[in-house]
Structure formats: structure tokens, C-alpha cells
């Protein structure tokens, strides 16, 4: 008989994308559903994933705190009856305050709780529930802020990426132009829209460039027109279901440093320039990028230095390919034996341990 598992997630793409990947890993061997808040629905493919809505409020507003605590108590009871009705035996949480009612209900029911920490810094929600969990899936045993006395709970897995990312293999541009993919993550990155475009145009006057760029929906037309008027081949979009094909074409990606995005670029051997979001909690995006920088797989520019450093770096990459090729080779080494099947077997082994 298959085990019944619920994956609790929500909020941003950084939480929901790993939840969907985990769901895909578990689907064949377990009965699995996802719980998410309404924010998380934006990132969830509703046609492919069974889900329930547990719309947990934030607890960061002092004036609404009493009401929100009552709502969380109500949602804890709702989660309690949902877990009993679905006969859930094991819980996964991808972190964040969204999982609070589900984890509390799981503790009341004495279910096995598993956590996922995709970042290089232990999230606050995961830290809060660390003592209650059976195992926490991490990408390294050197997670920052992780209590030393609880490190026995760490189960190391390769970074979770979508199965189709493995299928496309390493990126390999066949275009006669150097292709930059520019993505701002689920939170967007206006700095890539304003500061970067003029620099790209200046460089393109000497070196052929193609731009594939994610931007806010309202900026798509104006940004595309700007590049076109300046004779820069471009593809501008706000959301692209077939982003995988763009990654496959890419030579270098300019990106925020969300764990899922960096993992996908890593698996496809795509060197990247990381511009970590400075407001990310506990500066986890910088630490995510540092993991790859320490392996000489990427470049990092802090946002406050972006304007003064990006043009110099792009020119260096385009005029001397040696560093670029070295980083590409290091990514290949980093992902040696990293396959969907190996990750799948590791996850199943972890949840089936007594």
C-alpha cells in the first residue's frame, strides 16, 4: 500500500517550485498532495498537481497579530481534519510561515515530519521546527546557522531541479551571437530593466549579442522595442513555460540567486552572473551564490556595485573566453552523477527509513 504524503508550501516560487519537484519525485511511489496558500497558487500548475488551500496569514503586522493568531488556530484545526481525512502519514515542508498550521497539526497527530532547506542559510521556519522533524533535506552539511547538536538530522541530496532540465542536458549555443539570458526570479528585478539595457547596446556595437530577458509584463513591449531599435536581437517575456529551451541556448545567464534558478543553471552547465537580492532574509541569496563561486562556477556582483561592475565583467567574458570555459567545466564536474534517478532514489530511501 502506498504511503500518503502531504507537501506544505506557498508564498514565493522559491518555495513552490521545490515542492512541485518533490511531488514529481514522490508521485510514482506514494499518494501525494500539496497544500499552499493563495500566493503560492500563482506558481503551481493546477492541472498537474493535486492541492488544497491553507491560506496562512503573515505574522509581521503588530496591529493584526491577534486576529492572525486566531486565523492560524482555525487553520491548524482545518489542517488537522484534512490530514485525518486524507489519511496522511508523512509531511514535507519547504519552509516559510505558510506551513505553520500544517506542521502544528502534524505534531498533534504525531506524524513523521520532513523539512526541505534549498538555501545555504537555514530558514527561520525550518529552524523553528527542526527539533520536531525526522530529517531535513539539505544540499550541503555546511548550512549556515544550523545548530551543531541537530546536524544528525541532515540528509544531503543534490539540488532539486525539474526532470526536463536533466533531459535537455548541458547548454550549448549554436548561434553565431553570444546569448545572454536575463532573469529576475519570481520577485522580479527592475535593475535588469533599467541599468543593463544601455550597457548591452554599447557592447553589441562591437560584439554580436542576443538577449533573452524576463521582465515585468508592462515592460515587455518597451524593452523589446528599445533593443530592436538598437539592432540587438531579443526575446522579451514576462512568463515563458518553455524557458527550458532558452536555457539550452544560453551562453551566460544574469540572474538573482534563488536556489532553484541556480540549481537549474548548474545542471545545464550554464555559467551565470549572480546579483543576489539584498533584501533576501538572512542574505541567503548571497550565500546561495557563494556556494557556486567557491567552486569557481559563477561570478557575483552585489547589487550596490552592479552599475559600476557589470559592463567591465561582460566585456571580459566576451573578449576572453578562458574564464567562461573554466566555469563551464567546473559546473560539469560539480554535477557528475547528478541525475533525476539518483536524486529520486535518495529521496525515497530517506522517507522509507525507519
Considering its fold, how many domains does the chain have in total? 2
pLDDT for residue 244:
82
Task: Please list, in sequence order, all residues whose beta carbon lies within 8 angstroms of the beta carbon of residue 98, skipping any fewer than 6 positions away.
Answer: 8, 9, 10, 11, 15, 36, 37, 39, 40, 54, 56
Cell (9 digits) for 141: 552539511
pLDDT for residue 343:
96
Residues 118 and 220 placed together within one structural domain of the fold? no
Residues 279 and 174 placed together within one structural domain of the fold? yes
Cβ(294)–Cβ(301) below 8 Å: no
What single DSSP character describes residue 131?
G
Residues 139 and 151 placed together within one structural domain of the fold? yes
Global pTM reads 0.90
Cell (9 digits) for 185: 526570479
Cβ(146)–Cβ(4) below 8 Å: no
Residues 65 and 173 placed together within one structural domain of the fold? no
- Per-residue pLDDT of the chain (354 residues), as tens digits, is 899 999 999 998 889 999 999 999 999 999 999 999 999 998 898 999 999 999 999 877 778 888 999 999 999 999 999 999 999 999 999 998 999 999 999 999 999 999 999 999 999 999 999 999 999 999 999 999 999 999 999 999 999 999 989 887 665 555 689 999 998 754 556 788 888 999 999 999 999 999 999 888 888 899 999 999 999 999 998 876 667 888 888 999 999 999 999 999 999 999 999 999 988 888 999 999 999 999 999 999 999 999 999 999 999 999 999 999 999 999 999 998 899 999 999 999 999 986
Residues 212 and 289 placed together within one structural domain of the fold? yes
Helix axes 220-229, 196-204, angle to 10 degrees: 20
pLDDT for residue 175:
63
pLDDT for residue 58:
85
Q: Cβ atoms within 10 A of the Cβ of 245, count?
A: 13
Residues 342 and 324 placed together within one structural domain of the fold? no
Give all strands (DSSP E) within 147-208, no chain letters.
Answer: 154-156, 178-183
The C-alpha angle 183, 50, 188, rounded to 5 degrees, equals: 15
Residues 96 and 222 placed together within one structural domain of the fold? no
Half-sphere exposure of 353 (CA within 13 A, CB side): 11
pLDDT for residue 284:
93
Residues 140 and 204 placed together within one structural domain of the fold? no
Residues 16 and 78 placed together within one structural domain of the fold? yes
Cβ(272)–Cβ(305) below 8 Å: no
pLDDT for residue 64:
86
Residues 143 and 193 placed together within one structural domain of the fold? no
Residues 154 and 189 placed together within one structural domain of the fold? no
Residues 179 and 327 placed together within one structural domain of the fold? yes
Question: Could you list the residue range(s) of the whole structural domain that residue 246 is in?
Answer: 165-334
CATH value at residue 315: 3.40.50.2000
Amino acid at each position: 500500500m502506498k504511503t500518503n504524503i502531504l507537501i506544505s508550501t506557498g508564498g514565493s516560487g522559491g518555495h513552490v517550485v521545490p515542492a512541485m519537484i518533490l511531488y514529481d519525485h514522490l508521485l510514482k511511489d506514494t499518494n501525494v498532495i500539496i497544500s499552499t496558500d493563495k500566493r503560492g497558487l500563482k506558481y503551481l500548475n493546477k492541472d498537474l498537481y493535486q492541492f488544497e488551500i491553507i491560506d496562512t496569514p503573515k505574522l509581521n503586522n503588530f496591529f493584526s497579530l491577534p486576529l492572525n493568531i486566531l486565523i492560524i488556530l482555525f487553520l491548524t484545526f482545518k489542517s488537522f481534519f484534512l490530514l485525518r481525512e486524507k489519511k496522511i502519514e508523512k509531511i514535507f515542508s519547504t519552509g516559510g510561515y505558510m506551513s505553520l498550521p500544517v506542521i502544528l497539526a502534524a505534531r498533534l497527530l504525531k506524524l513523521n515530519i520532513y523539512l526541505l532547506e534549498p538555501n545555504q542559510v537555514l530558514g527561520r521556519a525550518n529552524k523553528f521546527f527542526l527539533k520536531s522533524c525526522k530529517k531535513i533535506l539539505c544540499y550541503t552539511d555546511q548550512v549556515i546557522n544550523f545548530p551543531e547538536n541537530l546536524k544528525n538530522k541532515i540528509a544531503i541530496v543534490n539540488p532539486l531541479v525539474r526532470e526536463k532540465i536533466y533531459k535537455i542536458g548541458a547548454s550549448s549555443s549554436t548561434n553565431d551571437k553570444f546569448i545572454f539570458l536575463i532573469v529576475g526570479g519570481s520577485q522580479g528585478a527592475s535593475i535588469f530593466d533599467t541599468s543593463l539595457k544601455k550597457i548591452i547596446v554599447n557592447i553589441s556595437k562591437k560584439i554580436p549579442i542576443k538577449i533573452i530577458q524576463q521582465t515585468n509584463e508592462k515592460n515587455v513591449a518597451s524593452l523589446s522595442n528599445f533593443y530592436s531599435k538598437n539592432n540587438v536581437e531579443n526575446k522579451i517575456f514576462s512568463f515563458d513555460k518553455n524557458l527550458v529551451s532558452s536555457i539550452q541556448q544560453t551562453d551566460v545567464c544574469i540572474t538573482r540567486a534563488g536556489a532553484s534558478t541556480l540549481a537549474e543553471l548548474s545542471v545545464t552547465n550554464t555559467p551565470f552572473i549572480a546579483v543576489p537580492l539584498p533584501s533576501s532574509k538572512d542574505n541567503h541569496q548571497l550565500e546561495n551564490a557563494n556556494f557556486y563561486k567557491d567552486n569557481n562556477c559563477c561570478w557575483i556582483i552585489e547589487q550596490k556595485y552592479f552599475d559600476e561592475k557589470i559592463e567591465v565583467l561582460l566585456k571580459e567574458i566576451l573578449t576572453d573566453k578562458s574564464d567562461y570555459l573554466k566555469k563551464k567545466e567546473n559546473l560539469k564536474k560539480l554535477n557528475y552523477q547528478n541525475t533525476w534517478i539518483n536524486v529520486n532514489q535518495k529521496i525515497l530511501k530517506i522517507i522509507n527509513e525507519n
